[in-house]
């Protein structure tokens, strides 16, 4: 059994295997810059990764603390349900 590397330290996100893209925690997302979280969300959509509800909520919460991204089409549709 290997040691799990936190998602926040594996970049660029677009080069990650889909199984790693869906293996992030809320704590990792909350420590990311807006740009890194945006890159992660875009890679998740491009690779059609299915996320858990807690991950979708966490990403949406992280983005709601900043400006809403201009290109919402680049993000997973399921995440948009959690924007307030």
Residue 84 has a pLDDT of 64
The one-digit pLDDT tens for each residue of the chain (84 residues) are: 444 454 544 567 777 778 777 888 889 888 888 888 888 888 898 899 999 999 998 888 888 776 565 667 777 878 777 766
Residues 28/20, Cβ–Cβ less than 8 Å? no
- State the Cα angle at 59 between 80 and 73, rounded to 5°: 40
Residue 10 has a pLDDT of 58
Residues 66/38, Cβ–Cβ less than 8 Å? no
12 φψ region: left (φ > 0), alpha (ψ -120 to 50), beta (else): beta
Q: Which of 13, 18, 47 is nearest to 28 (CA)?
A: 13
Which one-letter DSSP state was computed for residue 75? Answer: S
Residue 38 has a pLDDT of 86
- State the Cα angle at 75 between 71 and 16, rounded to 5°: 125
Residue 71 has a pLDDT of 67
Residue 7 has a pLDDT of 52
Residue 8 has a pLDDT of 46
Residue 52 has a pLDDT of 92
């Amino acid at each position: 059994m290997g040691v799990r590397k936190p998602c926040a330290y594996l970049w660029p996100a677009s080069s990650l295997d889909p199984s790693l893209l869906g293996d992030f925690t809320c704590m990792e997302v909350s420590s990311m810059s807006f740009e890194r979280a945006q890159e992660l969300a875009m890679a998740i959509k491009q690779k059609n990764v299915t996320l858990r509800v807690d991950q979708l909520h966490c990403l949406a919460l992280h983005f709601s603390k900043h400006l809403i991204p201009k290109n919402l089409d680049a993000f997973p549709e399921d995440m948009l349900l959690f924007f307030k």
